[in-house]
Chain A
């Protein structure tokens, strides 16, 4: 068994665009669920709109990458408004069903062959790296040490991803300490009480939905930046994985989503290297390498159940500030 390779891949995933993308999406979900108490089960839809908005803007309209990214974020904000205006008055589990259905509709619209020219249907989109890589400030070459050795283009994705994440964390951290954030948490705990104080709860929830949606779209863009946009990514499983990452770190915290995504991806990468290696070494004679790859998703499901039952506040969360109030 090649331990060096396994550990190197695992360590490398700490800085992978997937981890950063998940962290941004989970942070958005923290705004939705952790702070505003909105059961958004359609985070994959927000990520898809961000990624497709970016890719389509570059490929179909020849826009520069930064404008394309802004369009991706704006499209997600519009989606949040369209989704939020009619549904935010609904009770929690209704909202969950509506958001998961809306995310599926979004995915099916990107998947259908009817818009093949724009969306690439089942093949997805790729080849939108031109202007993004031209804007790279790093000269050609490879940089870094040990497992974190990447090419200039790979570093460019990671640097921009980390900068975006830092800005997002700062914004959420500041907002949640502001009066606005306190009202939001108040709505989560007791909407009627906040309304009795004269606050427009609906408007606050809508603002939270838009803010979280934009963060999730940023996560979708970072996730798609290094390679391609594929409709097979934005399935409901993606939503559930982001939820797992969020609940692992702590829903009502700013750094919980980051920690959760990090642990999620480090474990995923480790298992995806370690389990097939075990099979190859003959330690797990009753399964094939493909089955070993599937096993880690089973473990995600089991982990999600155990988390919610035994540690609903997550690693960084405060047990007194349980978000499952209703």
Chain B
């Protein structure tokens, strides 16, 4: 056991102010230590206490080792069955608490984006004589994970996110292509899918089994698209309202829908069943079966949609309208009917994206769709406004960028990274990757 250091360490600011006092105190303490033969040992009877709680998603973790170092010597403590630990210390002073990450379950780490060594914390036992230390425990990469493994893991996560984003962005792009509306309420159509799913499958309300409830939520979302078209957008088309006005109408709609969700579900976050399914390891990549299902569903739906768009009569008509509405109308295509189908599809895809996003985040919140609205716009613009395949490619790029950029920039800035890229893309290639130059006008 290390012998205690007799020098009291204070923050530099206080040092200047209290220099005289400290000198006196230090001298006095040096005297005390010189007199006392045995070093002050930490013991159960010591007056001050450092304690804490180690939990993962509300579940206590037992048997996690922590080392507390400071005046009174080094102490090692394990969490009990409630995840709690406490040590007694002899001094009101600074202590270093280190959580031994090897004693955490597999795949779990102390996460704190601000801190290079998040498992180590400095605490000061203050005037009250008690201090509690909490660590942010979560599923994350320990510092031992190589940067390459993190890169692979984040790329796979990003593809998952990108595919989900693509489902939403394709609808946004189709609507823009056929009607010219930059639909700011599209995020709320995404939220609708998640809220509907929550209503249908949550234990508190309908409690339907997942395999009925989730598809039903998607059907309801498609219904929302139909209702919006019949109740709002078609009358406005008849009235020949300009696209800028339509855009601001969609902003009003977005506000109204967003706060309607808050009205009914409140400001908190709720979870769908199986939202915290255990992760399976595939080499460096960790995915739950929900993640895998999400990826597979996205791919199947996107491929199905692509076939519909390229092969079916209606799909071809949709592309014709995107290309040139008046010409399409003149060649006998029922524009109103096709646009209605587009709204139904956009609603359904957005609803599906909402369900998957509720698992990806995880959680359902009243403004969850609004949070990714700009990422959808980024994806659509990146790929080329009004082109469905551009939206897919743009979404995948945005998804991967958002996740992978977290390796280098703080996690709370990762959306900002994608938005900066949106702005930069618009500067150099405003028509997007697959767009044509004439569209920017």
Contact = CB atoms under 8 A, between A and B. Distances in A.
A87 B426 contact: yes
A303 B252 contact: yes
Interface in A242-275: 243-244, 247
Interface string A295-326: 10110111111111100100000000000111
Interface string B358-399: 000000000000100010011001000100000000000000
A86 B381 contact: no
Interface residues of A, number: 50
Contacts of A303: 252
Contact of B245 (A90, A295, A324): A324
Interface in B259-303: 259-260, 262-263, 266
A94 B370 CA distance: 18
Given A87-B426, A291-B263, A297-B259, A96 B182 contact: yes
Contacts of A294: 259, 262-263
A325 B244 CA distance: 9
Interface stretch (A98-106, A167-175, A221-229): A98-106
Contacts of B385: 94
A92 interface: yes
B426 A308 contact: no
B233 to A, nearest CB: 11
A204 interface: no
B378 A101 contact: yes
Contact of B252 (A93, A305, A326): A305
A102 B245 contact: no
B255 A300 contact: yes
Interface stretch (B18-26, B71-79, B92-100, B416-424): B416-424
Nearest to A95: B426
A109 B413 contact: yes
A326 B413 CA distance: 35
A112 to B, nearest CB: 5
* A interface secondary structure, majority: helix
Contacts of B266: 290
Interface residues of B, number: 46
Interface in B21-69: none
Nearest to A100: B374
Nearest to A102: B423
B253 A105 contact: no
Contacts of B441: 91
Contact of B259 (A102, A114, A301, A324): A301
Contacts of B430: 90, 94
A240 B251 contact: yes
Contacts of B416: 104-105, 108-109, 112
Contacts of B370: 236
25 contacts: A87-B423, A94-B426, A97-B374, A97-B377, A97-B426, A101-B422, A102-B419, A102-B423, A104-B419, A109-B413, A109-B416, A111-B412, A112-B410, A116-B114, A237-B255, A240-B255, A243-B248, A247-B248, A294-B259, A303-B252, A304-B249, A304-B252, A309-B239, A324-B242, A324-B245
Interface of A: 39, 86-87, 90-94, 96-98, 100-102, 104-105, 108-109, 111-114, 116, 236-237, 240, 243-244, 247, 287, 290-291, 294-295, 297-298, 300-309, 312, 324-326
